[in-house]
Amino acid sequence: MAATKKSTPNPIPSVWTRQQREPDQPALSRSAIVREAIVMLDADGIEALSMRKLGARLNAGATSLYRHVATKDELMELAVDEVFAEITVPSADSADWRAAATEAAQSFRATALRHRWLSSVLGQAGLAYLGPNLMSYSERLAALFTAAGFPEPGRAIDTVLTYVIGMSTTEAAWLTTVARSGETEADFIARLMPAAQQAAAGHDHLSDAYSTAAPRDPATLRDTKFTYGLDVILDGLQLRLPH
């Protein structure tokens, strides 16, 4: 009986598992490609990014780009990892773990609002977590929560990040909508309020909330909402620490 031929597994679809090719254009580097891609993502969002448009911005053909980045998915992995270098995490030696965790969460949120495409693509960016910056970020968080005394730091980290990513995704989408209106956030809300009050009519709790809401600075209100939710999360985690 002939021996069964062993099938070759499909390659793992990630930039971090593929050997980088030697560049044919020394002036065109992977880092330059990623930096320009981030500029395009920040300006127009992920829908507007294509290898063809990126090549035109860099005065290079798509074929030249593919020698550095095989697919758009790989490009997104690289862009996500590059942006994660901007997020700060305090030292694990911090005396107050809550203050350190709050600073890390606020840094994530600030980064996600500077790059409004980030939170929405985290679950779609393949194996982005294998990137060096994201690995470093995860390691610093693990060190912080381990030093705080959490017996299962990974679960505590996942809880915080789920909240931060969820809030940042919603907030970034809202700010994108405001930006497309061409108005300030306060002016956009003022113009939207009559429609919101009309939609809430007949819903007692919502109608009361809209009718009694006093004008407030939108950025301050968003900050307050984020901090309130984060404090609730950290209050719950505090109870999980061994006494």
Nearest residue to 100 (alpha-carbon basis) of 152, 155, 160: 160
pLDDT digits (tens, 9 = 90+) for 46-76: 888 999 999 999 988 777 888 888 888 889 9
pLDDT digit string (tens) for the chain, length 243 residues: 555 556 667 666 676 665 665 554 456 889 999 999 999 999 999 888 999 999 999 988 777 888 888 888 889 999 999 999 999 999 998 889 999 999 999 999 999 999 999 988 886 655 667 889 999 999 999 999 999 999 999 999 999 999 999 999 999 999 999 999 999 999 999 999 899 889 988 898 888 887 776 678 999 999 999 999 999 999 999 999 987
Cα distance between residue 69 and residue 140, in whole Å: 28
The tokens describing 45, both together, are 């969002």
Residue extents of the structural domains in the chain:
23-70, 97-182+213-238
List Cβ neighbours of 11 (8 Å cut-off, separation of 6 or more). 17, 18
**Domains 23-70 and 97-182+213-238 alike in fold:** no
Residue length, the chain?
243
Task: Count CB atoms within 10 A of the CB of residue 183.
Answer: 14
pTM of the model: 0.85
Cα distance between residue 71 and residue 51, in whole Å: 8
- CB of 33 closer than 8 Å to CB of 58: yes
Angle subtended at Cα 109 by Cα 196 and Cα 232, rounded to the nearest 5 degrees: 75
* Dihedral of the alpha carbons of 80, 25, 63, 84, in degrees to the nearest 10: 0
Beta strands in 129-209 (DSSP E): none
Q: Which CATH class is domain 97-182+213-238?
A: mainly alpha
- CB of 87 closer than 8 Å to CB of 104: yes
Please give the backbone phi and psi of residue 50, each rounded to the nearest 5 degrees, phi first.
-145, 160
Give residue 164's pLDDT.
Answer: 96
Give residue 130's pLDDT.
Answer: 83
Distance of alpha carbon 38 from its chain centroid, rounded?
13
The tokens describing 238, both together, are 């505090």
CATH superfamily membership of 23-70:
Homeodomain-like (1.10.10.60)
